[in-house]
Amino acid sequence: MSKNANHDAIAQAAMAAMPRAYAPYSQFQVGAAILDENGIIHTGVNVENAAYPQGSCAEAGAIAAMVMAGGKAIQAIAVSGRGDLLCTPCGGCRQRIREFATSDTPVVICGEDAIKAEFTLGDLLPHNFGPDNLD
């Protein structure tokens, strides 16, 4: 487990969400959990669609849940997926996360039952473009 209790909490939430994903085509279920600036955890899962481009990622679902609940900043995010390889956010989700996070925001990567790795968003999306670029 992580040395950070918040990371453990979001990891557990992401792992608990993962089996609820709707992935009838790929069978690749993903769960995500976000800790917002108010200390609230928001979860999401991937939702596939027969018209493949219309599906949505778990991270996008968790971000939408955070925004709907009034959250405006990601303090940390966890992503959970099955398999031996790390299930890191896709490129599009890295940019979606960046909209609400900074380069220092922790990104916790989990398997089915444990944390596998921890990064910062800057590690995953170096030299990123975000809201501060438009100031």
CB 45 within 8 A of CB 29: yes
Active site (annotated) includes residue 118: no
Distances (CA, A) of 58 to 6, 23, 124, 132: 19, 11, 17, 25
Catalytic pick among 37, 48, 59, 118: 59
Question: Which residues are catalytic, by number?
Answer: 59
